[in-house]
Amino acid sequence: MIYAFGDCEMDIAARELRRGGIVVRLEPQVFDLLGLLVENRHRVVGREELIERIWHGRAVSDAAVSSRVKSARQAVGDDGERQGVIRTHHGVGFRFVGTMAAPSAMANHCVAVGEARERAASARPSIAVLPFELVGAVGAYAAVADGLPHDLILELSRLHWLTVIARGSSFQFRSAAVAPEKVAAALGVRYVVTGDVEVDGPRISVTVEVSDTSTAALVWSERYGRPLGAVHEIRSEIASSVASALDLHIAVAEARRALSSPSNLDAWAAYHLGVAEMYRFDREGAERAAARFEQAIEREPGFARAHAGLSFAHFQGAFQRFAADRAAAIDKARRSAETAVALDPFDPFCNLVTGRVAWLIGDLEGARPWLDRAIELNPNYAQGKYASAWTRTLLGEGSRGRRLVDAAMELSPLDPLLYAMLAVRAFTHILQGETAEAAIWGERAARAPRAHPLIELIAAVSHGLNGDDEQANRWFASALRRQPDLGREAFFEAFPFGNDAVRVRINQVLHRIAV
């Protein structure tokens, strides 16, 4: 990326600053500091964040920071009195305030590409986690007020689609009365997380709230009550739960934001509208989702998650038999997944869709490492745990599958894929020969919001294995009314069980009720 301001051009990739076309020699830390300020010019960068990013958290004096800032100012023709390029916010940090200019002709192409990426990045949702407030006498548990927000920052940073402000900057705001718009002005964030910690007798309570800084509206809130005990376990459990919840709730808020100005969508807005349609799990939703993801890719071709979303939409077309040409849908899902993971191999969603494509061709062993990697990248990724549970269960690992799907439902009890999680739980009982339990979970899955006809087939099989042909026939008939081309072939195409004995038992049930 090349940034142009005044008579300067800063080439980040080449680590070169040019002023009037002449290269300016800079110490590495001075270059890094200037680059950090330029790339985050929409907000104030705090002193602690500077130290974290430039000195990697080592203890440094204020004089050392001031010296590097002074050198950066001199390099771009600024000074501490004029502050036309780098402005000091006393007690807070520094902000780049120079006017961006057109780059040289030689750099035009690089800048055009860079600006497109920058526009996508600026549209990316951003969040700051503030220190929590202490309510009453919390005694030895006071550390939770800072420790839990720090844990949350670490967990939220695993979400590649969310920009998370570093602790050094967000922890400057310690007042309970700080207004969201003030945080937005200082840090340039769209969302802010606040909370409080209270000890009441033998219990500790933690309240967490997420607000939209542009409207001060509450996006999501939750109250956690736990017995006093091992504080580290309490912190870890709550941080995982909050991070998983925000993965869903902020995405919903972003879709609502995009709907408020549908005629002027940037890549991220189109992406979030695509996600909202994707979770309808029907033909029309899949088609509209694909169109939104293609719209996002058109605006930003290097947008990895938009390619991943497009793979997800084509997966639905093939898996739920929406697509007129299933082979073509599988190929589109595969190509989009390959593009996504090539653009961002560390995004859990990109790894998830790559693993899901392997399902479509029955390559469960090929799916396993991609889904395991998605969980490694984000241990709070409920949909990753669900997908891995499904794969392992079909491979015959029922106990492992049950632990994973239970963890997924605990992390995200209102997940759009909850119906599928419940269905996996039914499959784990089928695998273990626990037919009564399988019928209970299969029934719950088929009655859950967004459950599609294939899930009703699972309910039919579960009841049939349990000897209740009346319920089995009812669910089988319901599935056929919604999608007449379903049957034994479609069931095993969607759910390629590796256990031959289980396949035989299911096939016998389908033969018996498909009359």
Tell me what pLDDT residue 103 has.
56
The tokens of 188 are what? 């340039």
**Are 297 and 310 spatial neighbours (Cβ–Cβ below 8 Å)?**
yes
Tell me what pLDDT residue 232 has.
65
Provide the residue ranges of all domains of the chain, joining segments of one domain with +: 2-119, 126-244, 261-379, 415-515
b (16+ CB within 10 A) / e for 218-230: ebbeeebeeeeee
Counting Cα atoms < 13 Å in the Cβ hemisphere of 412 gives 26
Tell me what pLDDT residue 56 has.
77
Q: List, in order, residues 6 or more apart from 500 with CB less than 8 Å away.
A: none
Rounded Cα distance between 84 and 78, Å, is 6
CA 42 centroid distance within chain:
23
Instruction: Kindly report whether the global pTM for this prediction surpasses the value 0.85.
Output: no
Rounded Cα distance between 381 and 405, Å, is 11
**Are 312 and 356 spatial neighbours (Cβ–Cβ below 8 Å)?**
yes
Tell me what pLDDT residue 118 has.
43
Tell me what pLDDT residue 112 has.
38
Indicate whether 102 pLDDT > 80. Answer: no
Helix (H) or strand (E) holding 209: strand 203-212
**Are 155 and 240 spatial neighbours (Cβ–Cβ below 8 Å)?**
yes
Q: How confident is the model at residue 138 (pLDDT cuts 50, 70, 90)?
A: low
415-515: which CATH architecture? Alpha Horseshoe (1.25)
Higher pLDDT, 328 or 265: 328
Q: How confident is the model at residue 22 (pLDDT cuts 50, 70, 90)?
A: confident
The four Cα atoms 324, 328, 333, 336 give a dihedral, to 10 degrees, of -130
Q: How confident is the model at residue 226 (pLDDT cuts 50, 70, 90)?
A: confident
2-119: which CATH architecture? Orthogonal Bundle (1.10)
Q: Read out DSSP for 446-509?
A: HHSTT--HHHHHHHHHHHHHTT-HHHHHHHHHHHHHH-TT-SHHHHHHHS--S-HHHHHHHHHH
Which range of 4-8, 131-135, 195-199, 271-275 scores highest in mean pLDDT? It is 271-275
- Segment 193-221 shows an average pLDDT of 87
Same fold for the pair 261-379 and 415-515: yes
Q: What is the CATH number assigned to the segment(s) 261-379?
A: 1.25.40.10
Whether CATH 3.40.50.2000 fits 126-244: no
